[in-house]
Amino acid sequence: MGTVPEDVQEHWFVQLHRYAESEVGRARGWETWRLPSWENPQITEDDLGEARETLGQRKFAREYGAELLSAAGGVWKEEWFRQYDEAPAADEFQRVELYLDAAWRTGIRNDYSSCQVWGRTRNGYYLLGEMHGKWESPELRRRVAAFREEWAREYPSKTVALVVETAGGGMVAAQELREAYDFPVVDFEVKGSTKLARSEAVTPLAEGGKVWIPSAARAPWVRGWLGEMVGFPQLGHDDRCDAASMALQRLRSYVEPYCAVVVPRRVDLDRVPF
């Protein structure tokens, strides 16, 4: 019913929409729905692509995606992310890992599961791939294992561990994955009391030009990933943002292993004072 208001937090229609989405609103018979422009058969993919390129991801999400985002930018800025067409060579990566933010329920109002592949090089952090969707627990485990195997073949010289957030059901999920598969599964306790604090702790990496994402021509799924990042925390789902924040927190603290070589020398024990 019209364009998204500039101030989404205070607008009466937005408040009514969110009330209708709530348990109380639904119990009282309210219904609400969202119809993004790409569901209109009269709008072509070329039109949508041109709008996305000219408006930017955040405004495109507002005006074409019917997302209730304020006009001001969120925690993440689209212009902070650097894009690549070809990933660095495998030997340039110090570490390559999968990061899983899992949702073990598949209801319409439940979050999605996001499993992202990230790598660290000397000049930054690279988002390499993503598996995103809704699956029940057994199917999700199988898909994560297959996804991890795919990237282990891509980087055979790396360990390619699966990192699972311990909050919520993450601890149990990590234990089940360890029992079912023989690849390394790492528990990770994210830093920050809130999701907003976790993102704010790593946004300086992106702002400083250290976070690289694939171009849309290379990976079309990155449009959805980027849309959720720049829409955080106002969008209904934040699974992609949670997985990315976890990846950047962990990779930032990684210290490349080193070894010291000491030249041997002969020691005459008869001349060593005791």
- How far is residue 274's CA from residue 258's CA, in Å, rounded to a whole number? 33
The last residue of a domain, from among 20, 40, 72? 72
Same domain, 140 and 183: yes
Each residue of 97-107: b (16+ CB within 10 Å) or e? bbbbbbbbebe
**Residue 192 falls inside a structural domain:** yes
What is the per-residue pLDDT for 31? 87
What is the per-residue pLDDT for 271? 73
User: Which two tokens mark 172?
Assistant: 């149990």
* 124-133 and 162-165 beta bridge pairing: unpaired
What is the per-residue pLDDT for 108? 46
> Lowest-pLDDT range, 31-35, 154-158, 201-205?
31-35
Same domain, 166 and 184: yes
Same domain, 112 and 209: yes
Higher-pLDDT residue of 76 and 92 is 92
Same domain, 49 and 93: no
DSSP string computed for 148-180: HHHHHHHSTTS---EEEE-TTTHHHHHHHHHHH
Strand partners, 204: none
pLDDT of residue 72 exceeding 70, the answer is no
**Residue 168 falls inside a structural domain:** yes
**Residue 267 falls inside a structural domain:** no
User: Which two tokens mark 178?
Assistant: 């360890």
**Residue 257 falls inside a structural domain:** no
Q: Which domain holds residue 136?
A: 74-252
Higher-pLDDT residue of 8 and 253 is 253
What is the per-residue pLDDT for 199? 84
Higher-pLDDT residue of 83 and 59 is 83
**Residue 270 falls inside a structural domain:** no
Nearest to 102 by CA among 75, 133, 126: 133
Same domain, 231 and 189: yes
Burial class (CB in 10 A: 0-12, 13-18, 19+), 1: exposed
Same domain, 114 and 222: yes
What is the per-residue pLDDT for 86? 94
**Residue 131 falls inside a structural domain:** yes
pLDDT single digits (tens) 135-147: 888 888 899 999 9
State how many domains the chain has.
2
Same domain, 95 and 117: yes
pLDDT single digits (tens) 145-196: 999 999 999 999 999 999 998 776 667 778 888 888 989 999 888 776 678 7
- Domain holding 238: CATH number? 3.30.420.240
- How far is residue 74's CA from residue 203's CA, in Å, rounded to a whole number? 11
- Please check whether residue 86 is in contact with residue 128, taking contact to mean a CB–CB distance below 8 angstroms: no
Torsion on CA atoms 78, 83, 89, 91, rounded to nearest 10? -20
- How far is residue 27's CA from residue 46's CA, in Å, rounded to a whole number? 41
Query: What's phi and psi for 165, nearest 5 deg?
Result: -65, 135
Same domain, 131 and 247: yes
**Residue 21 falls inside a structural domain:** yes
- How far is residue 176's CA from residue 185's CA, in Å, rounded to a whole number? 10
- How far is residue 46's CA from residue 134's CA, in Å, rounded to a whole number? 28
* 113-121 and 95-101 beta bridge pairing: antiparallel
Same domain, 44 and 112: no
pLDDT of residue 49 exceeding 50, the answer is yes
Same domain, 26 and 161: no
Highest mean pLDDT among 81-95, 96-110, 197-211, 248-262: 81-95
What is the per-residue pLDDT for 128? 97
**Mean pLDDT to the nearest integer, 10-37:** 80
**Residue 88 falls inside a structural domain:** yes
Same domain, 20 and 99: no
The last residue of a domain, from among 72, 97, 132? 72
Q: How many CA atoms lie within 13 A of 182 on its CB side?
A: 0
pLDDT of residue 236 exceeding 80, the answer is no
The last residue of a domain, from among 21, 38, 72? 72
Same domain, 49 and 133: no
Residues 6+ positions from 235 with CB-CB distance below 8 Å: 67, 69, 228
